[in-house]
């Protein structure tokens, strides 16, 4: 039986129940215990789970950067931040700190931590299972900071709702994240469609 460790401080009982049932169907066992950092651990993968409001408070309180410091210090793990919710909901928080929160996404990626958006808890769990396929056993450990061999591909894949095909399209057109950050919204919409193009444009705005 493959064992996933879920942090005991996770308080969302509906998520816990859904997570245990879903991963159980795929042959995983779930143990709940206090993890030193992160919320979900499988082999060499650590996932920090954030809801929209938690992401906002983590950034504005500077707790996010302490968590990232733990991830970077424990380099034997591949640490990933996954956010459950829609990026548009961040814009609904109308205060003077929202621009800092939106800009934090680029800073997190620049620090070498993948940031993945998931619209629902179901999508969150599905992406967890995808990532677990890349996990390595302790006796055959090979560090992975991205799920792709090509680091550029993986940077683009860390953007909301971007898979391998769209990552390659973005890389072909913009070549690097810096160029993508300056891309006008109409270009992204034309390339990826109105919903995905708008989500990516908003995710990269300060």
Residue 82: its pLDDT value, please? 94
Name the pLDDT band for 123 (thresholds 50, 70, 90).
very high
The SS3 of residue 71 is helix
Measured distance CA(78)–CA(170) in Å, rounded: 24
Residue 76: its pLDDT value, please? 85
Measured distance CA(77)–CA(74) in Å, rounded: 6
Whats the size of the chain, residue-wise? 206
Residue ranges of domains in the chain, CATH in brackets: 2-147 (3.40.50.10130), 151-206 (1.10.150)
Residue 86: its pLDDT value, please? 82
Residue 62: its pLDDT value, please? 86
Token couple for 10: 């996770």
What is the pTM (predicted TM-score) of this model?
Answer: 0.65
Residue 141: its pLDDT value, please? 44
Kindly tell me if the per-residue pLDDT of 138 is higher than 70.
Answer: no
Q: What average pLDDT does this structure show over 60-77?
A: 88
Name the least confident of 33-42, 73-82, 157-166, 186-195.
Answer: 157-166
On the 0-12 / 13-18 / 19+ scale of CB atoms within 10 A, 135 is middle
Q: What average pLDDT does this structure show over 65-85?
A: 89
Residue 205: its pLDDT value, please? 63
Residue 197: its pLDDT value, please? 85
How confident is the prediction for the chain on average, in pLDDT? 83
């Amino acid at each position: 039986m493959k064992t996933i460790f879920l942090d005991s401080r996770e308080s969302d009982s509906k998520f816990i129940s859904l997570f245990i049932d879903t991963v159980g169907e795929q042959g995983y066992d779930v143990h709940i215990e206090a993890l030193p950092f992160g919320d979900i651990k499988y082999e060499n993968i650590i996932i920090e789970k954030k809801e929209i409001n938690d992401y906002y408070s983590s950034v504005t309180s500077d707790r996010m950067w302490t968590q990232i410091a733990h991830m970077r210090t424990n380099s034997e793990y591949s640490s990933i931040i996954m956010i459950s919710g829609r990026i548009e909901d961040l814009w609904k928080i109308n205060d003077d700190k929202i621009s800092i929160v939106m800009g934090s996404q680029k800073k997190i990626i620049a620090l070498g931590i993948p940031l993945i958006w998931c619209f629902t808890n179901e999508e969150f769990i599905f992406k967890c299972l995808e990532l677990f396929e890349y996990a390595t056993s302790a006796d055959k450990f090979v560090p992975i900071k991205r799920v792709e061999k090509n680091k550029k591909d993986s940077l683009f894949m860390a953007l909301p709702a971007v898979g391998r095909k769209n990552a390659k399209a973005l890389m072909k057109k913009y070549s690097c994240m810096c160029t993508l950050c300056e891309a006008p919204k109409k270009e992204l919409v034309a390339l990826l469609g109105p919903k995905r193009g708008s989500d990516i444009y908003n995710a990269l705005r300060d």
